[in-house]
A and B are shown apart, each in its own frame.
Chain A
């Protein structure tokens, strides 16, 4: 099952003015795979994720999605983004829309889906993240953990082929982290392909098929959770793990 490459990244470079943040990243993500990206602050984790769906303009390199190169024309970019779900650290729900409308928005506007059908599937997604009774309230009335679960439902509503999580629990109070991780874990069980930038090492260890350790804009080590946490080879990875546990 996990032999089909869904996303391939070739020689990805990203500079902000003189500062080179990503220095040639090569990666391939297989269907159904859960890949966590770890690394110290400034290692380029978030930038990597943001470059993948073109929220940052990459300086160099190619991205292939299901074997086809993603061009950087607006049309090709938007079509690609519609198939890639993204969850942000700070949720970025639409404050002027109710919860259900937040979730419906992508399908209705981007896919021109019938409103009634979109509402039904949005409701089912809210049930999936345990927030169906919040369907008609506004984001301001929710806790951080609830907001993030809605944000996940909103991304899922586009029926993406891969989900990108950019530090999904870093902005949450400690007691709210669990409910969000649970939702992500359930997605993993359902076979969703995911890339997760996280500081939750316990979670990364448990949920990932593959972990990538980024250091100074390069993939310093890549392996199974066992390889990374029990048998690290890279010196900086060793000290990173020591500093965290």
Chain B
């Protein structure tokens, strides 16, 4: 009997902390959303630009983009964020904390997204390009009207993965003292000495954000597949 009532008390305490602290997370969750959405959009833009530069097949551009991708993939995001926030000011490039975080995150996912785009562009059958050429289209017209729409559709599943990773990666911005979900969680843990309910709240927020993103992506995928039998 005593065990049961102790458990009930524990649960009550857990719930009361959850209820008390969940709303206090909101500003930080909004920050997480802001970091994720902006870095996803910018990252996608970077990815497109990088893959477009690569497709020009100009040696110098190719070398630069390859260098970018190999540096981003070859080092941890944590280190990249430190470098932008603490390292770049030493050579006179100083950004606000938020800007540093967004640059770092977008730069990071941009490299992966460009590789996703490259893969899906390469997967389009060469006959598609030839059919465009045979109609007299320029390289640019073929890319915009024939290759890109088909490649984009193929990139959606992998892109979705990358977007989800970007949401989680935004938690690393806490290391440059940005008050997003993970940092606020740590502060609340320190204040309450009760990590379990606090981390539970943080986890639920992440889970909800990511579930919404994957639902939206699934809907997009369905809409893009109208041309399939």
Chain A residues close to B by CB (< 8 Å)? 53-55, 74, 78-86, 88, 90, 92-98, 105-106, 109-110, 138-141, 154-155, 158
> For residue A79, which residues in chain B have a CB less than 8 angstroms away from its CB?
136
The answer to whether the Cβ of B149 comes within 8 Å of any Cβ in the partner chain is yes
**Chain A minimum-CB-distance residue to B144:** A109
> For residue B146, which residues in chain A have a CB less than 8 angstroms away from its CB?
94
Q: In the assembly, what is the distance between CA of A138 and CA of B150, in Å?
A: 13
Instruction: Say how far A113's CB is from chain B's closest CB, in angstroms.
Output: 12
In chain B, positions 102-156 with a C-beta closer than 8 Å to chain A are 125, 127-128, 130-131, 133-139, 141, 145-146, 149-150, 153
Q: By DSSP majority rule, is chain A's interface helix, strand, loop, or mixed?
A: mixed
**Chain B minimum-CB-distance residue to A140:** B229
| Inter-subunit contact B137/A110 (CB<8 Å) | yes
The answer to whether the Cβ of B228 comes within 8 Å of any Cβ in the partner chain is yes
> For residue B133, which residues in chain A have a CB less than 8 angstroms away from its CB?
53-55, 81
Known: A109-B141, A109-B145, A140-B229. A96 touches B135 (CB 8 A): no
> For residue A92, which residues in chain B have a CB less than 8 angstroms away from its CB?
125, 127-128, 130-131
Instruction: Say how far B17's CB is from chain A's closest CB, in angstroms.
Output: 52
| Inter-subunit contact B136/A110 (CB<8 Å) | yes
Q: In the assembly, what is the distance between CA of A139 and CA of B131, in Å?
A: 14
| Inter-subunit contact B135/A106 (CB<8 Å) | yes
> For residue B228, which residues in chain A have a CB less than 8 angstroms away from its CB?
138, 140
| Inter-subunit contact A96/B137 (CB<8 Å) | no
> For residue B229, which residues in chain A have a CB less than 8 angstroms away from its CB?
140-141
Chain B residues close to A by CB (< 8 Å)? 125, 127-128, 130-131, 133-139, 141, 145-146, 149-150, 153, 226-229
Known: A55-B130, A138-B227. A95 touches B150 (CB 8 A): yes
| Inter-subunit contact B227/A110 (CB<8 Å) | no
| Inter-subunit contact B134/A105 (CB<8 Å) | no
Known: A81-B133, A138-B227. A110 touches B141 (CB 8 A): yes
| Inter-subunit contact B134/A81 (CB<8 Å) | yes
Instruction: Say how far A45's CB is from chain B's closest CB, in angstroms.
Output: 17
Question: B134, B226, B227: which has the most chain A beta carbons within 10 Å?
Answer: B134
Q: In the assembly, what is the distance between CA of A138 and CA of B125, in Å?
A: 17
**Chain B minimum-CB-distance residue to A74:** B138
28 CB contacts below 8 A, A to B, read: A54-B133, A55-B133, A74-B138, A74-B139, A78-B136, A78-B138, A81-B135, A83-B136, A85-B134, A86-B134, A88-B127, A88-B134, A92-B125, A92-B128, A96-B227, A98-B227, A105-B135, A105-B145, A106-B135, A106-B136, A106-B137, A109-B137, A109-B145, A110-B135, A140-B227, A155-B134, A155-B135, A158-B136
Known: A96-B149, A96-B150, A141-B229. A55 touches B138 (CB 8 A): no
User: 6 tightest CB-CB pairs across the interface, nearest first?
Assistant: A82-B136, A86-B134, A138-B227, A92-B131, A106-B135, A92-B127
> For residue A98, which residues in chain B have a CB less than 8 angstroms away from its CB?
227
| Inter-subunit contact B137/A94 (CB<8 Å) | no
Partner of A154, one of B135, B136, B153: B135
> For residue A84, which residues in chain B have a CB less than 8 angstroms away from its CB?
134
> For residue B153, which residues in chain A have a CB less than 8 angstroms away from its CB?
96
Known: A92-B128, A94-B128, A109-B145. A82 touches B227 (CB 8 A): no
> For residue A96, which residues in chain B have a CB less than 8 angstroms away from its CB?
149-150, 153, 227
Q: In the assembly, what is the distance between CA of A85 and CA of B133, in Å?
A: 10
**Chain B minimum-CB-distance residue to A138:** B227
Instruction: Say how far A192's CB is from chain B's closest CB, in angstroms.
Output: 16
> For residue B227, which residues in chain A have a CB less than 8 angstroms away from its CB?
95-98, 138-140
Instruction: Say how far B124's CB is from chain A's closest CB, in angstroms.
Output: 10
**Chain B minimum-CB-distance residue to A142:** B229
Q: In the assembly, what is the distance between CA of A138 and CA of B137, in Å?
A: 21
**Chain A minimum-CB-distance residue to B224:** A96
**Chain A minimum-CB-distance residue to B128:** A92
